[in-house]
Amino acid sequence: MKSRRLALLLITLTCMLSAPAFAQSMGDWVDIKDPNELRALYSNKTFRGKEGWVGYYRADGTGILMLRAGKPQPRTWEVKGNDSVCATAGSAPAACYRYQRNTKKLNEFAAVSMLSDVRLEFTVEDGVPQF
């Protein structure tokens, strides 16, 4: 039963986040290809998605994803290679993303799924709550 809920959650998240959000010109975005910059992006940060989700990520590789009306989903994350981060939720397969940062709005980032080319735009804030 738990695996069905997790699968449904992941399908829902993918559908929710697949809506394009191209507020700025694509020329305003640059790829992040430095593993240290990717680690810093996730270390003790709060991600706020334009679609209403929130992710909290600690430097130790743990995190929590909160969907609009869902229960908190524990996650783990790790940098893979020079240009991607993979996150897992429970026993689900890892979801890997490549990242871009906005050159004009320094707290805005985008993640592009390595499986589906789904693009998620979000803001990043320093700090995370206790979890």
Q: 24: pLDDT confidence band, cut at 50, 70 and 90? A: very low
- Residue-by-residue DSSP string for the chain: -HHHHHHHHHHHHHHHHTS----S-GGGEEE---HHHHHHHHTTEEEEETTS-EEEE-TTSEEEEE-SSSPPEEEEEEEETTTEEEEE-TTSPPEEEEEEEESSSTTEEEEEETTT--EEEEEEEE-----
Provide the mean pLDDT of the chain: 84
Average pLDDT of the residues in 106-115: 96
Q: 20: pLDDT confidence band, cut at 50, 70 and 90? A: very low
- Tokens describing residue 60: 């130790």
List the Cα angle 46/52/57 in 5-degree steps: 20
**Domain boundaries 2-125, CATH class:** mainly beta
pLDDT in tens, 50-95: 989 999 999 999 999 998 878 899 999 999 999 999 999 888 899 9
Evaluate whether 92 touches 84 at the Cβ level (below 8 Å). no
- Tokens describing residue 119: 């693009």
Domain ranges within the chain, ordered by starting residue? 2-125
For residue 41, pLDDT beyond 60: yes
